[in-house]
Amino acid sequence: MNYTEKLQNVTVLGAAGKMGSGILLLTAIEMADLSLKPENKGKLFVLNAMDTSSEGLKGLMKYLKTQILKAAEKKIVGLRDVYKDRKDLIDNSDIINQYVEDVLFIVRPTLNIEAAYDSTVIFEAIKEDPDLKVKVFSQINQNNKKSPWFCTNTSSIPIKLIDSKANLGGRVLGVHFYNPPAIQKLVEIIKPANADAELVEFALMLAKNLKKIVVPSNDYAGFIGNGHFMRDALYGIEQTEKLTNKFTFPEALYIINKITQDFLIRPMGIFQLIDYVGIDVCQYIMSVMNPYLKDEDLHSNLLDKMLELGVRGGQNSDGSQKDGFLKYEKGKPVAVYNINSKSYTLITDIQTKCDDALGKLPLSIQPWKAVVGNKDKESIFITYFNELKATETMGGELARDYAKRSKDIGLKLVADNVALNENDVNTVLLTGFFHAYGPINDYLI
C-alpha cells in the first residue's frame, strides 16, 4: 500500500484539542490535495475527526473552515491549475470556496472510536497519559483488521513502552508536532528499534509534504525537546530558590525570568515558558520522564506546591495566557505570584530593586525580536557574549551560569544518545522553541 493509499482512510484522535486540531488541519489539506490529483479521481478519502466533546467538534469545524480559507488564499495560483477544467469556477473566490468545500468534504467529525476501525493510519493527540494511550491503541488494534499505523504526538512517553504494552509489533512511531502544529515547522520523529521501515518512510514523506523540518530523536523519555526544556526549567527553579536567601520569592522569580529572557536573549523567560506550557503539564511530563532516568531526579516541589494552591498556567480556549507564576494582562506579565502570601506582587513594585541588583546589561544587547531573523546575528552574539564574559555584576554571573548549564544539558542529550548530534539539539531549540541561537555554542569559551 503506497503513500496515497495509506492516506485514503485516516483517523485523528483528540481532534478537537489544541494539538489535534492542528494535526487534523494539516492532514485534511494534504488528503484533499491528493484527492484532487487526476490519477486519484473517483477515489474516496475519509478523515475521521474523533473526539469525546461534541462542543469541541463544533468548534473544530469552524476552525477548519477559517484556516482552510486562509490556506486557499495563499495558494490560489496553484489552485487555478488544479481546477483548470472546471469552467464553472471563474473568479478566485469561486475556486477558493470550492477548495474549502472539497477539504471539508473529507472530514467526518465523530464521537465514536469505532470510526478508527477502518483506518490505515491513526494520528493520536490525546492526553499525555501512557495508560490511556495504550488502552486506546490496543482497542483499535484489536478491532482493526488492516494492521494500521499509529503516529503518536507524545512529547515524553517512550514509544517502545506504547508499542510493547499495546502489542503493536513496531507499527507505532513518535511523530511529535510542536505547538501550534499548523504554524510550527518542527517535527520530532522518534523511532523505536523495531519500528516498521515503511511507517518511517511514510512519516518522513508526510513531513516533507507538510514542509516540516524533521529532527530524529532516539527513543528516550522526553526526547530532545522536553529533554532540554524540563532540565532547563528545573535549573531556573533551583536558581530562584537559592536567591530567596537574599530576595523575596517574587523578586527571585522576577530576576531569573529576566535573566533567561533579556540577558540570554530568548523569546520569553523560563517562567513565562512554564506558564505557557502549563505548570500542571510540566509537572506531569517530569513524572513521565523520571522513572526512566538513572542519574537524576526530574522533580520540583515548587511545581507541586503551585498546583496544590490551584495555580496551573496554560491557555484559555481563545489562546490567551492563564495566570501562573506570572499574572498576565494583554499577554504581558504584570505581576509575580508570591507563594507565601498566595497573592500576586506587581512587577512595578519590585522591578527597580531587582534591576539595580542585577546591574546593567552589556551595551551591545539587542532584544530577541531584533536579532532572531537578523542575517548578522552570529557576529552580534559574538560581540554580546564577549561583553557578557567581562560583566562583573550579579546579572552577568547568573546569565553566564545559566547559559553554561543550558549547554551542558544539550551536550548530555548527545552523550546519552538521545540526540544524534549537537546540530539536532540546536535545531530543536531554534525551531521548536524559537531561540535565536542554539544552546550548544562557543560564545562563552
Distances, alpha carbon 121 to alpha carbons 138, 172, 173, in Å:
14, 10, 11
Radius of gyration of the chain, Cα coordinates, nearest whole angstrom: 24
Q: Grid coordinates in use for 177?
A: 508536532
Identity of residue 386? N
Beta carbons within 8 Å of 211's beta carbon, 6+ residues apart: 185
Q: How crowded is residue 42: how many other Cβ atoms within 10 Å of its Cβ?
A: 5
Is residue 237 a contact partner of residue 402, using CB atoms and an 8 Å limit?
no
- DSSP output for 381-412: HHHHHHHHHT--SHHHHHHHHHHHHHHHHHHH
Which domains does the chain carry?
A: 3-217 (3.40.50.720), 225-432 (1.10.1040.10)
Is residue 83 a contact partner of residue 98, using CB atoms and an 8 Å limit?
yes
- Cα separation, 321 vs 402, whole angstroms: 26
Local confidence pLDDT in tens for the 445 residues of the chain: 799 999 999 999 999 999 999 999 999 999 999 999 999 999 999 999 999 999 999 999 999 999 999 999 999 999 999 999 999 998 999 999 999 999 999 999 999 999 999 999 999 999 999 999 999 999 999 999 999 999 999 999 999 999 999 999 999 999 999 989 999 999 999 999 999 999 999 999 999 999 999 999 999 999 999 999 999 999 999 999 999 999 999 999 999 999 999 999 999 999 999 999 999 999 999 999 999 988 899 999 999 999 999 999 998 877 789 999 999 999 999 999 999 999 999 999 999 999 999 999 999 999 999 999 999 999 999 999 999 999 999 999 999 999 999 999 999 999 999 999 999 999 999 999 999 999 999 999 8
- Cα separation, 284 vs 270, whole angstroms: 17
Is residue 174 a contact partner of residue 219, using CB atoms and an 8 Å limit?
yes
Residue 141 per-residue DSSP state: H
- Cα separation, 443 vs 388, whole angstroms: 10
* pLDDT reported for residue 185: 96
**List of E strands, 167-308:** 172-177, 186-190, 213-217
- DSSP output for 324-351: SSEEEETTEEEEEEETTTTEEEEHHHHH
Distances, alpha carbon 191 to alpha carbons 53, 58, 400, in Å:
31, 34, 35
* pLDDT reported for residue 1: 73
- CA torsion sign for 44, 140, 161, 315 is positive
- Cα separation, 285 vs 306, whole angstroms: 16
Q: What are phi and psi of 438, to 5 degrees?
A: -75, 155
